Structures are given as structure tokens and as C-alpha cells.
Amino acid sequence: MTATLEELLCVQVSAELEDGGLGFIGLGTGGRSFAFAVGIPSVAVALAHRRGIDFIAQYGVALEPDIENAPRCFEDRNLLTWPSSANLAVETCLDGFKRGKMSVGFISGAQIDKYGNLNSVAIGDYRKPKVRLVGGIAQPDHAANAKRTIIILPHARRTFVEKVDYRSAFGFGDGPGHRERLGLIGGGPAKVFTDLAVLDFHPESKLMRVVSLHPGVTRQQLVEETGFALIWPDEVPTTPEPTEAERQAIAEIDPDGAFLNGRIF
């Protein structure tokens, strides 16, 4: 594959974005996790805009900012002068989640399980964790309330686990019917994008299943890097590589790797 993994994921995620959608992108924590949580969704939205899609990105509290001219440092005064249609109070923005205004939530985590539940709080015993992570942030709010969530995270056996150590963001919970029993207004996880594959969830069993493998990735490799049994289609397609035109557009949107190499401070 000549394209980078990040380019491939940007195009894949962008294809999920539809007219009239509204998606929230947070501000992320550090380096590679910034690229997954913020960089890829940002470039995906900019690509959708170049295709003429009317998709509103809520970027923290900035509504539809000029992504292609994002500040290279997210300190307050740069965000204050970033051209946007609104700079909402954060509680107003988060109230919009609960009001059902959010059609897509972009989320990530340190662990995901077969039902798409995420953990960004603690690995191991919660009271005396092996690794203490950053906390839930707004991910529980996305997961409960967005019409669909798009999960982007690196694929590894320690990340894709049978059951998350701490369920901080609700996917399909314990399985079919759990979201409905709780009365959660959001639809749950729609797709999972990793460095190895695209995955979704079986409509009845709500178990994670393979949609496509990225170029050069084998079935054996995905099995080895996943800590639970995946559902496989009869024929496993290969994730399409980005076209030259798409790669050129990404280079224009992110010429200095601010988004895709996580270089925004």
C-alpha cells in the first residue's frame, strides 16, 4: 500500500458522514491518541466538506470551525479567534447531546470489548489499578446519546478484550436489548476503525464483526490481535486504498501533519 494508514482511515471515516449530520470532536490527549481521537475525524470531516456534504462539526465548543485553517496550538486565545459559527458554553454544548442533537460521536479508548463498550478510566482493579487512565471525559455522553458512535483506536490484543475492566462508555452493554432497557436515546456504536480492519456490530447479536481487512493484513493477524471471537463474513473484502485525488486532498488539508501526526499543542 502506498497510502499511509492514517490516510486510509480518514477516507473510510469520511464515507460515514452524511448530509445534515452533526458530530462532536473533542480536544484529545497527546501524540498518537490525539491523531486517533481528533486528527482522523477532523480530516474526515474536511474531506466530506470538499465532497459537498453538509456535516456540522462541533469542535469542543466551537461550532463548524474552519478545520482547514485550524490553529496549531489549542490555547484559548487561538480558539477564540478561530472562525466558527458559534462558540457555545460547554454546558450548552453538552446539553445538546442529551437533547438528542448529536448524530455522530467520535470516540476512542484504551480497551474495547465484543459489545463495543469502551474503557478510558482504569486497567485492572478500579481501586488499585494497574494503569490509571484519564477518565471518562465526554465519552460516556457521546456513547449514551449520539445517534451513532464511530470508534477509532489502535488494534491490539490488550485493547480488544472479552470484557472491559471498567465500562466508562456504554456500547451495547451486556448485549441485545440492554440499551433499550435503560432507555438510552443514542443508537450505540456503528463502526470501529483500527490500524488493521474496519468492523461493525451484528444487527441481532450486537457482537463485533469484521467488515474489511486493510491491504496486507491477514485473517490470522486480526485473530491474534483480538482477545475475543469476531464474526466473519463468508468473503472478507479488502478495505479500499485512498485514491491519488483523496491523498492530494488530505495533503492540502493537513500539510504539516498537525492532525495526523498529532502535532497540535
Binding site for other proteins (CB under 8 A): 27-31, 34, 60-62, 68-80, 87-94, 97-98, 121-122, 126-141, 144-145, 166-170, 173, 178-179, 182-185, 255-256, 258, 263-265
Smallest separation, CB 107 to other proteins (Å) = 12
Nearer to other proteins, 73 or 223 (CB): 73
- Asked if 170 and 179 count as a contact pair (C-beta separation under 8 A), the reply is yes
CB burial readout 136-162, b (16+ within 10 A) else e:
bbbbbbbbbbbbbbbbbbbbbeebbbe
> By CB neighbour count within 10 A (0-12 exposed, 13-18 middle, 19+ buried), where does 24 fall?
buried
Nearer to other proteins, 170 or 193 (CB): 170
- Residue 190 gets the label, from left (phi > 0), alpha (psi -120 to 50) or beta, of alpha
Grid cell listed for 39: 486528527
Give the Cα separation of 240 and 137 in Å (integer).
Answer: 33
Nearer to other proteins, 21 or 262 (CB): 262
Nearer to other proteins, 137 or 249 (CB): 137
Q: How many CA atoms lie within 13 A of 62 on its CB side?
A: 21
Nearer to other proteins, 179 or 247 (CB): 179
Nearer to other proteins, 34 or 160 (CB): 34
Smallest separation, CB 214 to other proteins (Å) = 27
Q: Which of 156, 160, 184, 159 is nearest to 170 (CA)?
A: 184
Q: Which of 261, 258, 263 is nearest to 68 (CA)?
A: 258
Nearer to other proteins, 13 or 122 (CB): 122
> By CB neighbour count within 10 A (0-12 exposed, 13-18 middle, 19+ buried), where does 198 fall?
buried
Smallest separation, CB 47 to other proteins (Å) = 16
- Asked if 198 and 239 count as a contact pair (C-beta separation under 8 A), the reply is yes
Grid cell listed for 192: 470501529
